[in-house]
Amino acid sequence: MPDRRQPDPSNDDNPFAAPPEGRPDQPWQPRQPQRPQDGGGGPAGDGPGGPEGPARWDPMDPVQRRARYALLSGMWGFFFGIFGIPSVGLLLGALALYWGISALRGRPATDADPGGLAALGPAARPQRAAAVSGLVTASLALLLAGSSYALQLAYKDFYICRDDALTRTAELQCNTLLPDNVVGQILKVQR
């Protein structure tokens, strides 16, 4: 057995390991990622996406950011519409509609250079899916908010009566203002 330990190959990539013997200390610098070499000898990323490979999620790109915002805003607008807060659902649905449309349109930065989702090529599929999903959920959120406001407008007398009622029996009397259909059964004050 040798007196001295052999260098551990796992420490070769350790940024916190001490420098090898005989090499002076150097100030810390972030390492550049190394790309594996493919069979052609060049970087594996050379191809239709450029030297860095196919384009990925870039939070600095406003078009990609709007696609994500559209999805999140539409989803939360739909939830607020379901849970009976139509004003917030209307706001989030309108924002999601705006962000989704602007993400899908993807205005180019310059006329000669394609921008937006078109510039991403095949990597735009997740962003396009997010923008379309945002449009769908925004439409549902706006539909829920609109139907809620339409019900309040159509049965305004019932809502005013119910809000002004001081006792439970007075509130139950307001049920006479509702029609005898499914909507009336849903809105009816329960005993």
Query: Are 148 and 160 in a shared domain?
Result: no
Which residue type does 188 have?
A: K
Q: Looking at the domain assignment, is residue 5 inside a domain?
A: no
Same domain, yes or no: 185 and 140: no
Is the same domain home to 108 and 187? no
The H-or-E segment that residue 104 falls in is helix 86-105
Amino acid in the structure at residue 187: L
Would the pLDDT of 53 be above 60? no
Residue 161 lies in a domain: yes
Q: How many domains does the chain have?
A: 2
Residues 121 and 177 in one domain: no
90-114: pLDDT as tens digits: 999 999 999 999 988 876 454 455 5
Cα-flanking dihedrals φ and ψ of residue 148, to 5°? -65, -45
Its pTM stands at 0.62
Shared domain for 101 and 130, answered yes or no, is yes
Is the pLDDT score of 159 beyond 50?
Answer: yes
pLDDT at 5 over 80: no
* Mean pLDDT of the residues in the chain: 78
The helix/strand/coil state of 43 is strand
Name the β-bridge partners of 36. none
Rounded Cα distance, 191 and 186, in Å: 13
